[in-house]
Amino acid sequence: MVFRKKLGLVILLVMLLALPGYPAWSAAGDAEVEQEVRVGLVQKASQVAFSATGDYQLVDEYTGRVVSGIEPGQRWEVRHSPEGLELYRDGRLMGSFEGPLKVVGRGVKVDVLSGTGLQVERESGLYAEGAGGRKALPDNLAGVHVLGAGGQVKKLAPARGTGLVTLYQGEQARRYRGDMEFRLDNAGITVVNQLPVEEYLYGVVPAEMPAYWPAEALKAQAVAARSYVLAQKGGYASQGFDVLATQSSQVYRGYDVENPATTRAVDETRGIVATYGGRPISAYFHSSSGGYTENSEDVWRSPVDYLRARPDPFDKNPQNTHYGWSKTCTADQLKEQLAAAGYRFSEIYDLVELERTSTGQRVKALAVSGLDPEGQPITIEIGRDPLKGKADEVRRALGLKSASFSMEKVMLPPAGDGQDGQQPRLERVTFVGNGWGHGLGMSQYGALGMASRGYTYQEILKYYYSGIQIVSNYGK
């Protein structure tokens, strides 16, 4: 963190504020400052541009030096070069940096509780006073903690207000709350958005679930997303962030997708987390279960106690269009699809279902036979590689909405009279199925169905995640 090495004395002095005669300081009325999350927005970029509205400054995190203030609307660009991160402002080179470079909100807002019990809001000019005299606190309070009257250690944090950072990539411009960090690696620039978990959820819930859906479904989505991100923190630590902004984690689209209904769902479930064994669960969710959810070991690799199979009658409702879908592929089209998934054939002769999941609803393993790229006979059993997963690998390899499908094959007769050992060969196959997604945890259309029937968000979550607890104010 910027300034951390310089703040040791300040931290000690601030803790004196809890002694008699000194005011007790806190953020947001003595409430615990919430956790933050680091979201990987962009990777391996050669260049990226940004601007900001609000009170921001640009900091070289390697040295702790403030590079510049950022004027509202001023356009900056960061480029990858052999010398490091090149920083440009309005097209003019401002210097090269080892980085990371960080766009930081510099306003600080704390509440001061005086000896009379009156609460006074302060934004700058803060200082700590102790036996060593008066010590001014920097406007950037990264790493500063105070000791409250109850003995709890609290962190002071920047007041982000409505400041936003706009990130430009090609023709796309997207706004984000919080701070923005530009990191250098051998492959290019990684862009990381750092912000409070609750503000992050403002940009997740409407990206994952339609904002016009019932409030209890939106709340279930908010708690699932909150639980997931807390469980995944540090998942990409070697790359400098916690989660990705894509379906590889959960979809996050920043400020521009925020909606009053989904923001309300986040606010009304603030700090509420689904836990198992006292820890947040990785609350995986999917669009439509097709009528059944699955055990985790049938879909991916390992058993997870709270990801258990169960029938899902709530998933099939008038708004769910993911029942009875079909996809037809010729043998050549199937060959191209499998090649894109890493399974290479020069010809495909047949595909045969080998095994289904414990519910009987999804194809867990599938054999594909044909000729390899060198023209030699080969059979690959998809779903049997312990490193690649099971039913979800079948779905991915075939490019289907779900592994809940049946096959209708059209075979070509063997060439000649069939006396030379040749077998019928696949001409085309039609997959007919139900659902969309991996089928683990909460079905979003199922949450819609349950909410429409009057179930609460707690009941929705406990239906889809076995044996969980719903905990308020997790981590406080």
Distance CA 335, CA 392 (A): 19
Would you place residue 474 in the very low, low, confident or very high pLDDT band (cuts 50, 70, 90)? confident
Residue 157 clears pLDDT 90, i.e. is over it: no
Query: Distance between CA 69 and CA 19 in Å, rounded?
Result: 37
What is the C-alpha to C-alpha distance for residues 333 and 438, in angstroms, rounded to an integer? Answer: 23
Mean pLDDT of 382-404: 95
| pLDDT attached to residue 29 | 35
Reported as a pLDDT band with limits 50, 70 and 90, residue 423 is: confident
- Residue 248, number of CB atoms within 10 A of its CB: 11
Out of 80-94, 310-324, 353-367, which region has the weakest mean confidence (pLDDT)? Answer: 80-94
> What is the reported pLDDT for 125?
46
Predicted confidence (pLDDT) per residue in 21-76, tens digit: 333 333 333 334 468 999 999 999 999 999 999 899 999 998 999 999 999 889 99
Considering the chain, what percentage of its residues have pLDDT values greater than 90? 71
User: For residue range 223-237, what is the model confidence (pLDDT) as tens digits?
Assistant: 999 999 999 999 999
pLDDT band of 7, cuts 50, 70, 90: very low
pTM listed for this prediction: 0.82
Domain-wise residue ranges, the chain: 1-196, 203-322+435-476, 328-400+407-426
Amino acid identity at 35: Q
Distance from chain centroid for Cα 426: 40
* Contact in structure between 264 and 215 (CB atoms under 8 Å): yes
Read off the pLDDT of each residue in 166-190 and give the average, rounded to a whole number. Answer: 92
Question: What's the mean pLDDT in 187-191?
Answer: 93
398: nearest Cα among 334, 322, 350, 325 = 334
